[in-house]
Structure 1
């Protein structure tokens, strides 16, 4: 498998480290999954900081849908891809499924999800995993090198809501899947990367 997974806690230095792995490459495609569909000034500031830290000659694609298609269509145009980040991708895709495909108003998602049966929740999880499997397959079939950045969510506070706990569990499962399939895995702590696979 051609991709590397970089994990760590919030503000651990994982994004900076991931970018450093590709800093000698002039033709990198940076896949920024923090697509803003609503007003959040604090998140916008974070996005701007990330944008400013990237090499100016890299190409940025701001999207979370169709990542597998992006890889198939563009793998010959870049020496590598950097996807930042897995956690935000999961968040955006979950809300896309709920709002767009299931047509649930944003303000009602928590309440509706809490009333879901175990089977309905598993169906949502399966849809999310289907997308990750498509991305991993695209990387395997094209041989395109990619670095994925994710958050280590198992060392923090357990969320108070049912949706929050389900989502934290989902993120952990996705991380385990991606780490198992990855060629290399790094864990970043206090700005110090440790190669764990």
Structure 2
């Protein structure tokens, strides 16, 4: 397995740096996890800016589910994969679990979550980690080159809501898990990458 984790704060330059790591790869699959199932002009503009910076030869796959299956079925088609980003994947996966798997109304997720016991919250965390374990397993199995981009969440403001604090903690745990297993880890600050592993 050969995967690299690139982390940093919002607008730190982490995506640009991650893309530069693959500039010598001819055929790259860009796994875009910002799947737009609703109208959001600001997010749409962000996506378009990201698209303009990528080489035209790169192919984009928009998904946040079954990434392990996608890699397994396309491993011979690409030199490398770039997943951007871990944080958005976790966000989409959380709401998918709450609405599609648990049948909750998306407008009531935060209220319902506030009433969950620690055990109920832990079950959701376990379900989310199952996805990362599957991704890690397929990278081991296929020896695929992968760059993962994630947000460093420990240096920002602590969220006001209980769900926000739980989610921030979860993102930190996912980042630690991915960093521990990664071949190399970079922390990007003000557009300057620092190799920390």
TM-score class, shorter: over 0.9
Structure 1 runs not aligned, ≥5 long: none
1:47 aligns with 2:47: yes
Runs of 4+ that moved beyond 3 A: none
Q: What is the CA–CA distance in structure 1 between the aligned matches of 2:23 and 2:156, rounded to whole Å?
A: 31
Q: Secondary structure at the match of 2:70?
A: helix
Q: What is the CA–CA distance in structure 1 between the aligned matches of 2:72 and 2:107, rounded to whole Å?
A: 36
- Name the structure 2 match of 1:12: 12
Q: What is the CA–CA distance in structure 1 between the aligned matches of 2:107 and 2:89, rounded to whole Å?
A: 20
- Count of paired positions: 197
Deviation of 1:24 after TM superposition, in Å, equals: 1.8
The normalised TM-score by structure 1 is: 0.99
| 1:62-81 → structure 2 map (5 Å cutoff) | 62-81=62-81
Q: What is the CA–CA distance in structure 2 between the aligned matches of 1:167 and 1:64, rounded to whole Å?
A: 17
Structure 2 runs not aligned, ≥5 long: none
- Name the structure 2 match of 1:161: 161
- Name the structure 2 match of 1:37: 37
- Offset from partner CA, 1:72-96 (integer Å, 9 cap, x none): 1111111100000000000000000
Q: What is the CA–CA distance in structure 2 between the aligned matches of 1:26 and 1:45, rounded to whole Å?
A: 27
The normalised TM-score by structure 2 is: 0.99
Q: What is the CA–CA distance in structure 2 between the aligned matches of 1:106 and 1:89, rounded to whole Å?
A: 17
- Name the structure 2 match of 1:59: 59
- Offset from partner CA, 1:122-181 (integer Å, 9 cap, x none): 000000000000000100110000000000000000000000000000000000000000
Q: Secondary structure at the match of 1:176?
A: helix
Q: Secondary structure at the match of 1:6?
A: strand
